[in-house]
Structure 1
């Protein structure tokens, strides 16, 4: 086969792949907006397809079903956790730095997606769907176990106070970070904010938390 024909075939294949990816992503983005606004149960395949300017059969083609589409959205979310959770498993990592990595990583995840994604997560926090429980809950439990072990390691190494309850510390950290992003549409109307404000806020609240749980002076054993 002539080289120019081979080149055309390769270019066509690349274009087809881009188009396929674009169609899939468009369906996902439309679904995120609709699920965030109305909830999983009240959104139909037909609505998602219409919003994305696609045929309903495309959802079956790419995802199998509405549930498959929603699962793809949720898996996209939890896949973001894998890399930094893997880092936190390292027993040589200073637990204080581990908490900083966790904070920065959660911030990066929230900044990665459009506001509708945050609204979708907020809806699931208030009233978890069965799909959310099936896909996300076990992953969150395993991630929490890694964080709890890291905090416990900090106690064993004399970095954190031995009197601490690691579950309480973890809940405080998760609440402080996630609540900021989940309620940002409201408090940003009261307090003007940009990305540097968010970075400063997270750094300060983590510093306050660390000052409260770190061993100091005569508390160290």
Structure 2
């Protein structure tokens, strides 16, 4: 019974993620999401309470799962700072390139100029994973593996900005890069390996003593 409930909730969130990515938070509705998911509105409200509850549940599911993986990398004392950084990049690229709907939905909401209670909640969820990256950099500086003159904040902008450009402006980035960045085969065979190699070389050139 509990598994059925979990499966149903996951199905609703999968559908809602696509709806929010296409229409944005303001354009989506509980009625539309429930209709697309094939469930009644009462069930959706029972599980999530409101449209905002559905929206935040999507973020919690995506970000929290990823955070556990990243924390495992950051807290692994058996590897040095360079290995942690490599693993972080590998995990990050695998995750963000595979979940286009989620990241389009994410970018749509956090790029709004008007600050709202919802954007504040989203920002707090996202910052958990940003902090893990910053901690890896800080630990590398402290251990002497990385240069002491590192600008952590600009590194965050470099990593996340590169991803945002490629994933959230696909019509432009596809022309620049030379192939359709939204095509799954291109993502797996070309884009992910290329992004990983580029970011690792870029960060190594900047971080090395």
Settle same-fold status: TM greater than 0.5.
yes
- Structure 2 unaligned segments of length 5 or more: list them: 180-185
Contact 2:104 2:168 (8 Å CA) reproduced: yes
2:135 is matched with which residue? 149
What's the secondary structure of 1:61's corresponding residue?
A: helix
| Equivalent residue number for residue 156 of structure 2 | 170
Give the structure-1-normalised TM-score.
0.75
Equivalent position SS for 2:162: helix
Structure 2 match to 1:46: 31
Instruction: Specify whether residues 184 and 25 from structure 1 end up closer, same or farther in structure 2 by C-alpha distance, changes over 3 A only.
Output: same
Separation (CA, whole Å) in 2 of partners of 1:96 and 1:120: 32
Give unmatched runs, 5+ long, in structure 1.
Answer: 1-12, 216-221
Structure 1 partner of 2:103: 118
| 1:207 maps to 2:194 | no
Which runs of structure 1 show a deviation greater than 4 angstroms over 4 or more consecutive aligned residues? none
Q: Higher Cα Rg: structure 1 or 2? A: 1
Instruction: Note the aligned Cα RMSD (angstroms).
Output: 2.6
- How many residues in Structure 1 have an aligned counterpart in Structure 2? 198
Q: By how many angstroms is 1:164 displaced? A: 2.2
Shift of 1:213: 2.1
**If the length of structure 2 is used for normalisation, what is the TM-score?**
0.79
Using the alignment, how far apart are the partners of 1:130 and 1:81 within structure 2? 23
Name 2:166's counterpart in structure 1. 180
Q: How far apart, CA to CA, are the structure 1 residues paired with 2:128 and 2:13?
A: 26
Whole-Å separation in 1 of the counterparts to 2:134 and 2:103: 25
